[in-house]
Amino acid sequence: MSTNMTIHLRYWRQTGPTARGYFENRTLSTVNEHMSFLEMLDVLNEELQLDGTEPLEFDYDCREGICGSCNLVINGQAHGPKKGTACCQLHMRNYSDGDHITIEPPRASAFPVIKDLVVDRSAFDRIIEAGGYVSVKTGSAQEANAIPIQKNDADLAFDYAACIGCGACVAACPNASASLFTSAKISHLSHLPQGNVERSNRVVAMVEQMQEEGFGDCSNFGECEAVCPKEISIAAIADTRRDYVRAVIQG
């Protein structure tokens, strides 16, 4: 049996991109420990609607930690307190009765607020558009082992490809840098033979786009790796730096 918890919420409200935001407080008394964090917000929204007020907007889609839509900053931590867990997979059993929870949108100039907790992450799309793809002819789908790939490279590519683009790295970085996202997207392609062809152009174009979008510099804080729901290592960033130097030297 599960018991009901009382949770004191404090969340960001902003009616539109140019509107002035503010914090709103509300206490929920029927939070179940088996609820996910987002289900708890569903309960909040039911209450708000019964009151005749606007529900709280927040981004979500799959609710199983694989789509990268949710990106709440909970008590100052992107995706909340649990290691390797997106906030949709964060369950209320991680909190106790009477807890105070502050929910904010990811704060970055490159991620402007659309409404409440929803931010515009199309800056990430533009970084991908700058070079996060393979455009050379790689032939039709073939037997998986037809192209030999070192186990080490395959593992790295897979680790980096796990990035779901949620933006927690940007949200948590003290500099609001997008280095981990950009590097993961660069490196997962560069480690594979199909992606290796456009390696140089890709790293230069994507690094340039990241800067243009107004993300900050990297200071090797490593906070991004700590909050990443996919636990992507900042080794990806070191990898990108090597790649970038190689690209510049080779011309």
Burial of residue 39 (CB within 10 Å: 0-12, 13-18, 19+) is middle
Selection from 47, 74, 78, 72 nearest residue 60 by Cα: 72
Minimal distance, residue 75 CB to another protein, in Å:
6
Among 176, 184, 189, 192, binds another protein (CB under 8 A): 176
User: Which residue's CB is nearer to another protein, number 5 or number 210?
Assistant: 210
- The enclosing H or E element of 6 equals strand 4-13
Select from 56, 86, 90, 110 the one that contacts another protein (CB under 8 A): 110
Write the single-letter amino acid at 54: E
Give me 160's structure tokens.
């980096």
CA-angle at 220, arms to 238 and 67, nearest 5°: 75
According to DSSP, residue 232 is labeled -
| Per-residue contact string for residues 114-143; x = within reach of another protein by CB under 8 A | ------------------------------
Whichever of 5 and 103 has its CB closer to another protein, that residue is 103
Rule CB under 8 A: which of 178-217 touch another protein? 179, 200, 204, 207-208, 210-211, 214-217
* CB-based burial, 220-232: b 16+ in 10 Å, e otherwise: eeebbbbbbbbeb
Q: 199-212 and 179-190 helices cross at what angle (nearest 10)?
A: 170
Segment contacting another protein (CB under 8 A): 25-33, 143-151, 172-180, 187-195? Answer: 172-180
CA distance 169 to 174: 10
Residue 94 touches another protein, criterion: CB under 8 A: no
Taking the least distance from each CB to another protein, the nearer of 173 and 192 is 173
Q: Give the nearer residue to another protein in terms of CB position, either 92 or 224.
A: 224
Please, what is the minimum distance in Å from the beta carbon of residue 103 to another protein? 9
Instruction: Tell me, letter by letter, the H, E, C secondary structure of 24-41.
Output: EEEEEEEEECCCEHHHHH
Is 4 a binder of another protein (CB under 8 A)?
no
Measured from the CB atom, the residue of 34 and 100 that comes closer to another protein is 100
Residue from 102, 138, 194, 196 touching another protein (CB under 8 A): that is 102
Q: Which of 15, 32, 45, 77 binds another protein (CB under 8 A)?
A: 77
Nearest to 129 by CA among 241, 59, 213, 17: 213
Assess 104 for contact with another protein (CB under 8 A): yes
- The CA distance from 56 to 104, in Å, is 12
Q: Does 150 bind another protein (CB under 8 A)?
A: no
Q: Which residues bind another protein (CB under 8 A)?
A: 23, 73, 75-78, 81, 83, 102, 104, 107-110, 172, 174-177, 179, 200, 204, 207-208, 210-211, 214-223, 225-227, 233-235, 237-242, 244-245, 247-248, 250-251
